[in-house]
Protein backbone atom coordinates (compact mmCIF):
# COMPACT_ATOMS: atom_id res chain seq x y z
CA UNK A 1 0.00 0.00 0.00
CA UNK A 2 1.53 3.25 -1.06
CA UNK A 3 0.46 6.48 0.43
CA UNK A 4 1.58 9.71 -1.15
CA UNK A 5 1.87 12.89 0.79
CA UNK A 6 1.18 15.80 -1.45
CA UNK A 7 3.53 18.65 -0.82
CA UNK A 8 1.89 21.95 -1.40
CA UNK A 9 3.22 25.43 -1.99
CA UNK A 10 6.04 26.49 0.30
CA UNK A 11 5.03 28.57 3.25
CA UNK A 12 7.19 31.11 5.01
CA UNK A 13 7.77 29.16 8.18
CA UNK A 14 8.16 25.52 9.12
CA UNK A 15 4.81 23.92 9.73
CA UNK A 16 3.87 20.97 11.90
CA UNK A 17 3.20 17.66 10.23
CA UNK A 18 -0.48 18.15 9.97
CA UNK A 19 -0.54 15.63 7.16
CA UNK A 20 0.32 12.88 9.57
CA UNK A 21 -2.25 13.74 12.17
CA UNK A 22 -4.97 13.07 9.64
CA UNK A 23 -4.00 9.42 9.68
CA UNK A 24 -3.50 9.22 13.39
CA UNK A 25 -7.00 8.09 14.21
CA UNK A 26 -5.82 4.82 15.66
CA UNK A 27 -2.77 5.16 17.81
CA UNK A 28 -2.27 1.51 18.60
CA UNK A 29 -0.31 -0.51 16.10
CA UNK A 30 -0.15 -4.29 15.91
CA UNK A 31 2.86 -5.48 17.85
CA UNK A 32 4.45 -7.25 14.88
CA UNK A 33 4.54 -4.01 12.90
CA UNK A 34 6.01 -1.94 15.70
CA UNK A 35 9.50 -3.21 15.08
CA UNK A 36 9.59 -2.59 11.37
CA UNK A 37 11.07 0.35 9.56
CA UNK A 38 9.37 2.22 6.77
CA UNK A 39 10.61 2.46 3.22
CA UNK A 40 10.39 5.79 1.48
CA UNK A 41 10.59 7.01 -2.05
CA UNK A 42 11.45 10.55 -3.03
CA UNK A 43 10.68 11.87 -6.49
CA UNK A 44 12.04 15.05 -8.05
CA UNK A 45 12.16 16.93 -4.77
CA UNK A 46 12.92 20.64 -5.05
CA UNK A 47 13.30 23.39 -2.52
CA UNK A 48 14.66 26.91 -2.61
CA UNK A 49 15.09 29.68 -0.11
CA UNK A 50 14.50 32.90 -1.98
CA UNK A 51 16.81 33.01 -5.02
CA UNK A 52 18.93 30.15 -3.75
CA UNK A 53 18.01 26.69 -5.06
CA UNK A 54 18.93 24.35 -2.24
CA UNK A 55 17.57 21.12 -3.70
CA UNK A 56 17.41 20.76 -7.48
CA UNK A 57 15.55 17.52 -7.98
CA UNK A 58 16.31 14.58 -5.72
CA UNK A 59 15.21 11.07 -6.65
CA UNK A 60 15.81 8.47 -4.01
CA UNK A 61 14.52 5.22 -2.63
CA UNK A 62 15.41 4.14 0.90
CA UNK A 63 14.42 0.54 1.72
CA UNK A 64 12.77 -0.28 5.02
CA UNK A 65 15.17 -0.62 7.94
CA UNK A 66 18.21 0.70 6.11
CA UNK A 67 20.81 2.81 7.92
CA UNK A 68 21.20 5.57 5.41
CA UNK A 69 23.77 8.36 5.66
CA UNK A 70 23.90 11.64 3.77
CA UNK A 71 27.20 13.52 3.58
CA UNK A 72 28.20 16.69 1.83
CA UNK A 73 29.75 20.09 2.35
CA UNK A 74 27.95 22.62 4.46
CA UNK A 75 25.27 24.32 2.45
CA UNK A 76 24.90 21.44 -0.01
CA UNK A 77 21.28 20.87 0.99
CA UNK A 78 21.69 17.68 3.05
CA UNK A 79 20.05 19.14 6.15
CA UNK A 80 17.24 20.58 4.07
CA UNK A 81 16.60 17.16 2.57
CA UNK A 82 16.37 15.67 6.05
CA UNK A 83 14.08 18.45 7.27
CA UNK A 84 11.79 17.83 4.29
CA UNK A 85 11.66 14.10 5.06
CA UNK A 86 10.92 14.87 8.71
CA UNK A 87 8.20 17.32 7.74
CA UNK A 88 9.92 20.36 9.22
CA UNK A 89 9.83 22.17 5.89
CA UNK A 90 7.68 22.02 2.80
CA UNK A 91 8.99 21.35 -0.67
CA UNK A 92 8.13 23.43 -3.71
CA UNK A 93 7.79 20.40 -5.93
CA UNK A 94 8.11 16.67 -5.80
CA UNK A 95 6.84 13.98 -3.50
CA UNK A 96 7.99 12.02 -0.49
CA UNK A 97 6.08 8.76 -0.30
CA UNK A 98 6.18 6.38 2.62
CA UNK A 99 5.52 2.74 1.96
CA UNK A 100 2.83 2.04 4.51
CA UNK A 101 0.47 3.81 6.80
CA UNK A 102 1.96 6.64 8.78
CA UNK A 103 0.92 7.43 12.31
CA UNK A 104 1.71 10.63 14.18
CA UNK A 105 4.60 9.08 16.10
CA UNK A 106 6.18 7.17 13.21
CA UNK A 107 8.80 9.73 12.26
CA UNK A 108 11.08 11.16 14.89
CA UNK A 109 13.87 13.71 14.62
CA UNK A 110 17.04 14.03 16.62
CA UNK A 111 18.71 17.41 16.30
CA UNK A 112 22.29 18.52 16.63
CA UNK A 113 21.36 20.16 19.95
CA UNK A 114 19.66 18.01 22.58
CA UNK A 115 16.74 20.48 22.79
CA UNK A 116 15.63 19.20 26.16
CA UNK A 117 13.15 21.28 28.17
CA UNK A 118 15.36 22.68 30.95
CA UNK A 119 12.34 22.99 33.29
CA UNK A 120 11.33 19.34 33.01
CA UNK A 121 13.06 16.44 34.74
CA UNK A 122 14.81 13.88 32.53
CA UNK A 123 11.88 11.46 32.71
CA UNK A 124 9.27 14.04 31.64
CA UNK A 125 11.56 15.09 28.82
CA UNK A 126 11.49 11.52 27.54
CA UNK A 127 7.71 11.43 27.96
CA UNK A 128 7.50 14.37 25.53
CA UNK A 129 8.53 11.86 22.86
CA UNK A 130 5.30 9.91 23.29
CA UNK A 131 3.43 12.66 21.44
CA UNK A 132 -0.33 12.22 21.79
CA UNK A 133 0.16 9.13 23.93
CA UNK A 134 1.75 11.24 26.67
CA UNK A 135 -1.32 11.00 28.87
CA UNK A 136 -1.74 7.24 28.55
CA UNK A 137 -1.44 5.15 31.69
CA UNK A 138 1.81 3.43 30.74
CA UNK A 139 3.55 6.65 29.63
CA UNK A 140 5.92 6.69 32.58
CA UNK A 141 6.77 3.01 32.27
CA UNK A 142 7.58 3.44 28.59
CA UNK A 143 9.74 6.48 29.27
CA UNK A 144 11.56 4.54 31.97
CA UNK A 145 12.19 1.70 29.54
CA UNK A 146 13.61 4.09 26.95
CA UNK A 147 15.94 5.55 29.58
CA UNK A 148 17.17 2.08 30.48
CA UNK A 149 17.87 1.50 26.82
CA UNK A 150 20.25 4.47 26.65
CA UNK A 151 21.69 3.61 30.08
CA UNK A 152 20.46 6.68 31.91
CA UNK A 153 17.75 5.26 34.17
CA UNK A 154 19.69 6.51 37.20
CA UNK A 155 19.25 10.10 36.01
CA UNK A 156 15.47 10.03 35.62
CA UNK A 157 14.81 12.60 38.37
CA UNK A 158 17.61 15.01 37.44
CA UNK A 159 17.28 18.37 35.75
CA UNK A 160 18.87 18.46 32.26
CA UNK A 161 21.27 21.16 33.49
CA UNK A 162 22.93 18.54 35.70
CA UNK A 163 23.85 16.29 32.73
CA UNK A 164 26.92 16.30 30.50
CA UNK A 165 26.64 16.99 26.77
CA UNK A 166 26.75 13.31 25.88
CA UNK A 167 24.17 12.42 28.52
CA UNK A 168 21.83 15.14 27.27
CA UNK A 169 22.10 13.74 23.76
CA UNK A 170 21.34 10.26 25.10
CA UNK A 171 18.19 11.61 26.76
CA UNK A 172 17.29 13.18 23.41
CA UNK A 173 17.80 9.76 21.80
CA UNK A 174 15.55 8.14 24.42
CA UNK A 175 12.92 10.79 23.71
CA UNK A 176 13.15 10.06 19.97
CA UNK A 177 12.90 6.30 20.51
CA UNK A 178 10.21 6.12 23.20
CA UNK A 179 7.37 6.15 20.67
CA UNK A 180 9.08 3.35 18.72
CA UNK A 181 9.32 5.33 15.49
CA UNK A 182 9.63 3.61 12.14
CA UNK A 183 11.83 6.35 10.69
CA UNK A 184 14.47 8.19 12.72
CA UNK A 185 15.91 11.32 11.14
CA UNK A 186 19.26 12.33 12.66
CA UNK A 187 20.51 15.82 11.89
CA UNK A 188 24.22 15.74 12.85
CA UNK A 189 23.24 14.56 16.32
CA UNK A 190 26.79 13.85 17.43
CA UNK A 191 28.43 16.90 15.87
CA UNK A 192 28.85 18.78 19.13
CA UNK A 193 30.30 15.90 21.16
CA UNK A 194 33.95 15.16 21.91
CA UNK A 195 35.62 12.35 19.96
CA UNK A 196 35.35 9.60 22.58
CA UNK A 197 31.76 10.38 23.58
CA UNK A 198 30.94 10.44 19.88
CA UNK A 199 32.25 6.91 19.34
CA UNK A 200 30.29 5.50 22.27
CA UNK A 201 27.18 7.32 21.03
CA UNK A 202 27.73 5.79 17.58
CA UNK A 203 27.84 2.35 19.16
CA UNK A 204 24.66 3.11 21.08
CA UNK A 205 22.94 4.30 17.91
CA UNK A 206 23.98 1.20 16.02
CA UNK A 207 22.75 -1.04 18.84
CA UNK A 208 19.28 0.52 19.16
CA UNK A 209 18.94 0.59 15.39
CA UNK A 210 19.65 -3.13 15.09
CA UNK A 211 17.36 -3.85 18.06
CA UNK A 212 14.40 -1.83 16.85
CA UNK A 213 14.85 -2.04 13.10
CA UNK A 214 13.70 1.48 12.23
CA UNK A 215 14.85 3.21 9.07
CA UNK A 216 17.66 5.56 10.10
CA UNK A 217 18.54 8.60 8.03
CA UNK A 218 21.70 10.27 9.28
CA UNK A 219 22.99 13.60 8.06
CA UNK A 220 26.61 14.16 9.00
CA UNK A 221 29.73 15.97 7.87
CA UNK A 222 31.88 13.29 9.49
CA UNK A 223 32.65 10.76 6.74
CA UNK A 224 34.19 8.25 9.15
CA UNK A 225 30.96 8.31 11.16
CA UNK A 226 28.95 7.71 8.00
CA UNK A 227 30.98 4.70 6.86
CA UNK A 228 31.12 3.24 10.38
CA UNK A 229 27.35 3.30 10.82
CA UNK A 230 25.60 3.27 7.48
CA UNK A 231 24.56 0.59 4.99
CA UNK A 232 24.66 3.22 2.32
CA UNK A 233 26.25 6.66 1.98
CA UNK A 234 24.90 9.35 -0.29
CA UNK A 235 26.92 12.36 -1.37
CA UNK A 236 24.97 15.50 -2.13
CA UNK A 237 26.53 18.33 -4.06
CA UNK A 238 24.82 21.58 -4.98
CA UNK A 239 21.38 20.21 -4.28
CA UNK A 240 21.83 17.07 -6.41
CA UNK A 241 22.84 13.51 -5.68
CA UNK A 242 26.51 13.20 -6.67
CA UNK A 243 27.30 9.62 -5.62
CA UNK A 244 25.57 6.72 -3.92
CA UNK A 245 27.88 4.25 -2.13
CA UNK A 246 26.90 0.89 -0.71
CA UNK A 247 28.83 0.05 2.44
CA UNK A 248 28.91 -3.74 2.25
CA UNK A 249 31.01 -4.21 5.36
CA UNK A 250 30.03 -6.65 8.11
CA UNK A 251 28.89 -5.46 11.50
CA UNK A 252 30.13 -4.87 14.11
CA UNK A 253 32.64 -2.74 12.26
CA UNK A 254 35.99 -2.21 13.81
CA UNK A 255 36.96 1.44 13.96
CA UNK A 256 40.25 2.15 12.24
CA UNK A 257 40.14 -1.01 10.09
CA UNK A 258 41.66 -0.89 6.64
CA UNK A 259 38.35 -1.46 4.82
CA UNK A 260 36.66 1.44 6.57
CA UNK A 261 39.67 3.68 5.98
CA UNK A 262 39.76 2.83 2.28
CA UNK A 263 36.08 3.62 1.82
CA UNK A 264 36.40 6.79 3.85
CA UNK A 265 39.31 7.84 1.61
CA UNK A 266 37.28 7.22 -1.54
CA UNK A 267 34.36 9.29 -0.27
CA UNK A 268 36.60 12.11 0.95
CA UNK A 269 38.33 12.26 -2.44
CA UNK A 270 34.95 12.52 -4.07
CA UNK A 271 33.91 15.31 -1.73
CA UNK A 272 37.12 17.25 -2.25
CA UNK A 273 37.25 16.69 -6.02
CA UNK A 274 35.52 19.97 -6.80
CA UNK A 275 38.35 21.84 -5.06
CA UNK A 276 40.83 20.79 -7.73
CA UNK A 277 38.79 21.76 -10.74
Partner 1 sequence: MSIIESFSRIRTARVGLPSADGLIPWFVPLAIVLLWQLASVTGFVPTRVLPAPSDVVAVGWKLLLSGELLRNMWVSFWRAGIGFLIGGGIGFAFGLANGLSQLSAKLTDTTLQMVRNIPHLSLIPLVILWFGIDESAKLFLVALGVFFPIYLNTLHGIRTVDPQLIEMGRVYGMTDSELFRRVIFPGALPSIFVGLRFALGITWLTLIVAETIAASSGLGYMAMQAREFLQIDIVVLSILIYALLGKLADSFARLLERLTLSWHPAFRKS
Q: Where are the beta strands (DSSP E) in the chain?
A: 3-5, 39-49, 52-62, 67-71, 93-99, 107-110, 183-187, 215-219, 232-237, 240-246
Contact call for residues 20 and 36 (beta carbons, < 8 A): no
d(CA 175, CA 250): 29
Contact call for residues 114 and 197 (beta carbons, < 8 A): no
* 139 touches partner 1 by CB under 8 A: no
Contact call for residues 87 and 96 (beta carbons, < 8 A): no
Specify the residue, 147 or 233, whose C-beta has the smaller distance to partner 1: 147
Q: Find the binding residues for partner 1 in span 152-181 (CB under 8 A).
A: 159-161, 175
CA-to-CA separations, 210 to 20, 31, 37, 149, 213, in angstroms, rounded? 26, 17, 11, 13, 5
Q: How far is the CB of 266 from partner 1 (least distance, A)?
A: 35
* 29 touches partner 1 by CB under 8 A: no
Q: How far is the CB of 119 from partner 1 (least distance, A)?
A: 4
**Sequential DSSP letters for 36-62:** ---EEEEEEEEEEETTEEEEEEEEEEE
* 120 touches partner 1 by CB under 8 A: yes
Only one of the segments 116-124, 136-144, 248-256, 258-266 lies at the binding site for partner 1 (rule: CB under 8 A); that segment is: 116-124
Q: How far is the CB of 124 from partner 1 (least distance, A)?
A: 9
Specify the residue, 25 or 256, whose C-beta has the smaller distance to partner 1: 25
* 14 touches partner 1 by CB under 8 A: yes
Q: Find the binding residues for partner 1 in span 69-108 (CB under 8 A).
A: 86-88, 104-105, 108
User: Is 84 in a helix, a strand, or coil?
Assistant: helix
Per rule CB under 8 A, count of chain residues that contact partner 1:
26
Site residues, partner 1 (CB under 8 A): 14, 16-17, 21, 86-88, 104-105, 108-109, 111, 113, 115, 117-120, 128-129, 131-132, 159-161, 175
Amino acid sequence: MQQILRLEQATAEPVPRTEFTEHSGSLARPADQAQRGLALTIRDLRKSFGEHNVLRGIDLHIPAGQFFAIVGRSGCGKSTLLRLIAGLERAEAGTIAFDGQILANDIRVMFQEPRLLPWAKVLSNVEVGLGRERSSADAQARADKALVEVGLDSKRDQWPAALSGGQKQRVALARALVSQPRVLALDEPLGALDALTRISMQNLLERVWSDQGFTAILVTHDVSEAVALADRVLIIEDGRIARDFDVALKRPRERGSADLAALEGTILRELLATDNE
